[in-house]
């Protein structure tokens, strides 16, 4: 077993692994409201959804531009959410819609840096829920195998 070191917070129950991702999580955890607002502005969040906006997703970007973008940045983000009952106060696609807008923010941010990531459309709207969610109104469950295989097949995408 690997020995892990941890970065602690003021809350003894919350700690992050001492690596680049963990330290970034800690930085955001400790960030002030003002700093969070600055970060969100860098990613242009909030913004209107870009699901149908030309140039935002693989399926809405002309082939030549996809090839050019891939030469600058070969990362493809696949928004993954779920369709589940979130209660009477909101929509069942909330997870997929929110994660799509986060990925769109990353695309906008990386585009400003001259190397936009590519986004796969459509988001995976159905997740592998625990089986105790079976029968819950508004929840669509795919098997873990189906979700995994779908992700693998989407990851085989190539623009050129």
Q: Kindly report the CATH number assigned to the domain that includes residue 87.
A: 3.40.50.10310
Task: Please tell me the total count of domains within the chain.
Answer: 1
Establish if 99 belongs to a structural domain. yes
Establish if 2 belongs to a structural domain. no
Establish if 15 belongs to a structural domain. no
Establish if 77 belongs to a structural domain. yes
Establish if 44 belongs to a structural domain. no
pLDDT in tens, the chain (160 residues): 567 899 999 999 999 999 999 999 999 999 999 999 999 999 999 999 998 999 999 999 999 999 999 999 999 898 988 888 888 999 988 998 999 999 999 999 999 999 999 998 778 888 877 777 788 888 888 888 998 898 888 878 666 6
CA separation (Å) from 148 to 20, 24, 52, 108, 128? 26, 27, 26, 27, 9
Which residue range is the domain that position 56 belongs to? 51-155
Establish if 3 belongs to a structural domain. no
Establish if 18 belongs to a structural domain. no
How far apart CA 149 and CA 91 sit, in angstroms, is 26
How far apart CA 135 and CA 73 sit, in angstroms, is 42
Establish if 1 belongs to a structural domain. no
């Amino acid at each position: 077993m690997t020995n892990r070191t941890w970065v602690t917070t003021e809350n003894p129950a919350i700690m992050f692994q001492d690596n680049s991702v963990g330290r970034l999580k800690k930085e955001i955890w400790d960030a002030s409201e003002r700093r969070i607002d600055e970060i969100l502005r860098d990613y242009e969040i909030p913004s209107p959804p870009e699901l149908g906006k030309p140039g935002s997703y693989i399926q809405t970007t002309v082939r030549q531009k996809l090839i050019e973008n891939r030469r600058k940045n070969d990362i493809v983000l696949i928004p993954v959410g779920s369709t589940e009952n979130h209660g009477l106060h909101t929509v069942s696609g909330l997870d997929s819609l929110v994660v799509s807008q986060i990925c769109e923010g990353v695309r906008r941010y990386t585009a400003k840096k001259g190397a936009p990531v590519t986004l796969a459309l459509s988001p995976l709207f159905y997740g592998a829920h625990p089986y105790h969610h079976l029968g819950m109104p508004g929840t669509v469950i795919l098997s873990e195998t189906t979700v995994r295989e779908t992700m693998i097949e989407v990851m085989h995408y190539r623009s050129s």
